[in-house]
Amino acid sequence: GQSLEQPSEVTAVEGAIVQINCTYQTSGFYGLSWYQQHDGGAPTFLSYNGLDGLEETGRFSSFLSRSDSYGYLLLQELQMKDSASYFCAVRGGSNDYKLSFGAGTTVTVRA
Amino acid sequence: NAGVTQTPKFRVLKTGQSMTLLCAQDMNHEYMYWYRQDPGMGLRLIHYSVGEGTTAKGEVPDGYNVSRLKKQNFLLGLESAAPSQTSVYFCASSAGTSVETQYFGPGTRLLVL
């Protein structure tokens, strides 16, 4: 089975940097994805790490360490619109055609 | 492109009633998924399909059935609704080469009384 852990809530002010950690225990591992979901909305894909290291997409970056079974999503220059829930998700292997999601981290950005 | 669409958007059922949720995608994606989302529990996979005519169980399949008769459609059925099935249901699709990048529909809010 798959087990993912991420903090339940994070609060920060506009302009700050937030790091959301995700640790996983899985029977297999192919890659780590991140999704954003605004309140009342649908999840949307943010980033994917298949290899160790940092992936940067604008103000958002995602990092993976396969040896530590750990990844994080870094939100920089926080804006009010970044207030949302963020989910990490694991694909268990190349023959695994589904994702297992963490419970999500609610990020609240304050003025 | 409409992307992924779901019908209905909201439904109230009485215990024991049945219903079908429809998901449609116009991106020619091979894979389709049904999730349920409950407060504090993230997204839990109910069933999924890797192609027309094929389905597989996910993490929480009990009480649900699915069918994928056409590539663009994925139906989720509740034969005898229970209050525990009150939830928000999301459908998603992905290309066969990119399971990691799933596109979600707007969701269906289901209340079972």
Residue pLDDT, tens place only, B41-95: 889 999 999 999 999 999 999 999 999 999 999 999 999 999 999 999 999 999 9
Least Cα separation, residue A59 to chain B (angstroms): 19
Average pLDDT estimate for B19-46: 95
- Which residue in chain A has the smallest CA separation from B47? A98
Give the number of beta-carbon pairs within 8 Å between A and B: 56
- At residue A65, the pLDDT reads 97
Strands (E), chain B: 4-7, 10-13, 19-25, 31-37, 43-51, 54-57, 65-67, 73-78, 87-94, 103-104, 108-112
A33 touches chain B (CB under 8 A): yes
pLDDT digits (tens, 9 = 90+) for B75-87: 999 999 999 999 9
Whole-angstrom CA distances from B46 to A65, A68, B49, B65 are: 29, 29, 11, 9
Cross-chain residue pair A43–B43, CB shorter than 8 Å: yes
pLDDT category of residue B39 using cuts at 50, 70 and 90? confident
pLDDT of residue A27: 86
Task: Supply the pLDDT for residue A94.
Answer: 86
Mean pLDDT, each 10-residue run in order, chain A (111 residues): 92 98 93 97 96 95 97 98 98 91 97 94
